[in-house]
Amino acid sequence: MDCIFCKIINNEIPSKTIYEDEIVKVILDINPNADGHMLIIPKNHIDDFTKLDDNTLLHINKIANKMKDLIYNKLDNIKGLVLLNNYGEFQEVKHYHLHILPNGFNTKTKEIDEIYNELIS
Ligand code: 5GP
Ligand code: ZN
């Protein structure tokens, strides 16, 4: 299947990876809308949120909680997060992913490399 997120999961396309385990990979969005905009992507190809199984959904929520701690610990002046799923015509990549937007929409101030270094330091 010609899926860009499957290629990222398989390391055929590079990504700025924040966290990885046997079920998910967390990467920085290539076109961030916020500093630290990240995507939690299940390693299995799942088209969208309607196809998510309970175990994967539960795990994604646990990892979102873990990423919340990382964001609050590593980035300055975090006031809150937006967690977001797109679906249908609003979903560009048809491999399920949960967006995490620290401080919400249109809040990007820094280059992605700088934020990556802050998050992994
Ligand atoms: P959605 O499918 O929810 O509309 O959004 C897809 C998101 O994936 C977009 O925010 C887009 O910037 C991001 N994206 C698309 N292609 C790549 C890629 O190759 N690498 C990374 N890191 N993000 C990507
Ligand atoms: Zn895929």
Query: Which pLDDT does position 41 carry in this prediction?
Result: 99
In this structure, the residue with its CA closest to atom 5 of ligand 1 is 92
Per-residue model confidence as pLDDT tens for the chain (121 residues): 799 999 999 999 999 999 999 999 999 999 999 999 999 999 999 999 999 999 999 999 999 999 999 999 999 999 999 999 999 999 999 999 999 999 999 999 999 999 999 999 9
Domain 4-120: CATH class, spelled out: alpha beta
Task: Compute the distance between CA of residue 15 and CA of residue 40 in angstroms, rounded to an integer.
Answer: 12
Query: Which pLDDT does position 1 carry in this prediction?
Result: 75
Query: Which pLDDT does position 54 carry in this prediction?
Result: 98
Domain chopping of the chain, boundaries: 4-120
Atom index in ligand 1 nearest the CA of residue 37 equals: 10
97 is catalytic: yes
Q: List the catalytic residue out of 37, 95, 97, 99.
A: 97
Neighbouring residues of the ion ligand 2, judged by CB less than 5 Å? 3, 5-6, 45, 95
